[in-house]
């Protein structure tokens, strides 16, 4: 596969249509988003997409991800861990992240152009940081200060990745039918039990820890979607012990086979509430 980032078209939209070189630097916290900086970032993003990510697109789809039934681990295709490491170490996972948690604080508009290049070059690989970005946004907006301080720095740096666990075997778009349960514990945490399907990046070998954002229902939850709460459930706990949130297998897909789309089983896994009870769907 040959990919060439459409830099001139991106610059046309960014500067000549959106006037980004005058508007964006005036936004609070975006003073560094000058045309010189943005052009340099787009150029470097194009190099990464063209020379590192795109060459793995076809081979990654042919090889796919592999699930080990004994360890319940998932191995991504050859070259993916190293490509992801280069992506994270170059700062692309932190581009639009809040500065107070290690992000660069650059405009979402610029991040959108970076995501366009990444996902055009290799959508399978781009989905791992893409889901992490969604988890970061939800945690930033609704998480407690304690959860944000503990998890956001490593999610934003790319050391850890995130997921968003919504769908279950008995329900697709009607999330009011979810059966995953969250039982309050004496220490303020919750015991999460249930099954999720089609979870992008639910298990893989790109990072040391995976932070799951899980929709579940409390014992006193009202019926339907009004009874959904959101919980943070890490793969590994603070003491390094394995949280019982395991991959039960890989979903079979027609494409993007290098993206680990997982069945996830939560077996009394330890989690923490994000936002208010029964308002998890809004937060997710």
What pLDDT score was predicted for residue 29?
85
The rounded distance, in Å, linking the Cα atoms of 244 and 167 is: 19
* DSSP alpha helix (H) spans, 108-201: 108-121, 123-142, 145-157
Helix 108-121 to helix 35-48 angle, to the nearest 10 degrees? 20
What pLDDT score was predicted for residue 70?
96
Whether this model's pTM surpasses 0.85: yes
What pLDDT score was predicted for residue 173?
82
The rounded distance, in Å, linking the Cα atoms of 233 and 244 is: 10
What pLDDT score was predicted for residue 172?
79
Helix (H, G, I), strand (E, B) or coil at 55: helix
Query: How are beta strands 245-250 and 190-200 bridged, if at all?
Result: unpaired
Indicate the domain borders of the chain.
7-157, 160-283
Class (C level, CATH) for 7-157 = mainly alpha
- Domain 160-283 sits in CATH at 2.40.110.20
The rounded distance, in Å, linking the Cα atoms of 232 and 157 is: 18
Beta-bridge partner residues of 99: none
How many Cα neighbours within 13 Å face the side chain of 259?
Answer: 20
DSSP 8-state class, residue 217: B
pLDDT by 10-residue block (mean), the chain, 284 residues = 92 96 91 93 97 97 97 98 97 94 93 96 97 96 97 98 96 91 98 98 98 98 95 97 98 96 98 97 93
What pLDDT score was predicted for residue 1?
62
What pLDDT score was predicted for residue 144?
97
């Amino acid at each position: 596969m040959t990919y060439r980032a459409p830099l001139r078209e991106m610059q046309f939209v960014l500067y000549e249509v959106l006037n980004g070189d005058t508007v964006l630097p005036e936004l609070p916290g975006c003073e560094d988003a000058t045309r010189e900086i943005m052009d340099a970032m787009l150029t470097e993003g194009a190099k990464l997409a063209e020379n590192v990510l795109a060459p793995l697109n076809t081979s990654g789809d042919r090889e796919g991800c592999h699930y080990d039934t004994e360890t319940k681990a998932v191995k991504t295709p050859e070259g993916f861990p190293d490509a992801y490491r280069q992506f994270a170490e170059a700062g692309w996972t932190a581009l639009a992240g809040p500065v107070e948690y290690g992000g660069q604080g650059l405009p979402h508009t610029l991040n959108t152009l970076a995501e366009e290049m990444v996902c055009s070059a290799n959508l399978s690989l781009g989905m791992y940081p893409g889901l992490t970005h969604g988890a970061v946004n939800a945690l930033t907006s609704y998480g407690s200060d304690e959860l944000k301080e503990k998890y956001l720095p490593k999610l934003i740096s790319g050391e850890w990745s995130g997921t968003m666990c919504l769908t279950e075997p008995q329900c697709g778009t009607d999330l009011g039918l979810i059966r995953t349960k969250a039982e309050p514990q004496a220490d303020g945490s919750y015991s999460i039990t249930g099954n999720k399907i089609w979870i992008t990046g639910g298990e893989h070998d790109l990072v040391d820890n995976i932070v799951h954002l899980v929709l579940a229902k409390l014992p006193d939850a009202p019926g339907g979607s009004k009874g959904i709460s959101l919980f943070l459930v890490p793969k590994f706990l603070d003491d390094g012990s394995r949280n019982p949130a395991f991959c039960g297998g890989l979903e079979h897909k027609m494409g993007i086979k290098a993206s680990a789309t997982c069945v996830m089983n939560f077996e009394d896994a330890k989690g923490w509430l994000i936002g208010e009870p029964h308002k998890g769907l809004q937060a997710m």
